[in-house]
Structure 1
């Protein structure tokens, strides 16, 4: 992809981002410990009711970092076609665990419920940006404060 290609419209970028969220199976998840130690790991995810659901061992740094702060950055795609998400995360509660875990297992062909000590975490996007090249940097923000921006 080169900057000679025309920039996508915001509507097309939003649709491309939604397609990635629906179809991609893995993304990079970045968190930090309370003392600022960074952690960046690839994790499988499923989109569920507009959020991203991940599952990881409760002892892994990602789960430990998300539980107290709830802040996370997620990237999908590659450096020339990236979707960047900033969001908050919280453990999936028992009352919604079954449908969330069913959706996770159906998409990823892996059901960690039988394995311990895994925890499901629900990431709620607050900011979504998407761009390919420098000509798409302007207008890359598609969501702000958890709300999709008007399309132009």
Structure 2
């Protein structure tokens, strides 16, 4: 039996999104190769000064796909509580990442990639954020547009 939650207003959805960005550990990362081949992988993340910070090997397709264009879609949650983030990603070498950001990543996730040569950080700046639970929350699901919160 599916228990439906009450419809949230946009302010509550934003609060819920920000809580998940602070508390969740993992998300789905969707990229595409230059040839248009889609890729979907889970990565751990930390919400760091208004951006999402992840790490992967430099040679992994996710990092390679982000290099030419930087466009990425991220998803938190399951199909009945969705947060979609479209953003622009940059690849940051471990030695170039601010110490406070690297320390926050290591503290939250329990591992530190900054001294692992083949690993890089991926910093995603959100451009669009949508959040909804069920069909009744589809109206008003857009919470951020062009990098600016609408609520």
The answer on whether the counterparts of 1:2 and 1:133 sit within 8 Å (CA) in structure 2 is no
RMSD (Å) for aligned C-alpha atoms: 1.4
Structure 1, unpaired ranges of 5+: none
8 Å CA contact 1:17, 1:130 repeated in 2: yes
Q: Aligned-pair distance for 1:2?
A: 4.7
Determine the C-alpha separation between the residues in 1 that align with 2:52 and 2:74: 10
| Equivalence for 1:99 | 100
TM-score if structure 2 supplies the norm length? 0.93
* CA contact 1:85–1:125 (8 Å) conserved in 2: yes
Displacement of 1:42: 0.1
CA deviation map 1:111-133 (0-9, x unaligned): 11232200001000000000000
Moved more, 89-98 or 23-32: 89-98
Separation (CA, whole Å) in 2 of partners of 1:43 and 1:85: 14
Distance 1:108 1:67 in 2: 24
Greater relative CO (CA pairs within 8 A, separation 6+) = 1
For each residue in 1:76-131, what CA deviation from the matched residue of structure 2 results, as whole angstroms up to 9, or x when unmatched?
Answer: 01000010000000022655442221111011011112322000010000000000
Q: Which consecutive unaligned segments of at least 5 residues does structure 2 have?
A: none
For 1:85, what is the secondary structure of its paired residue?
strand
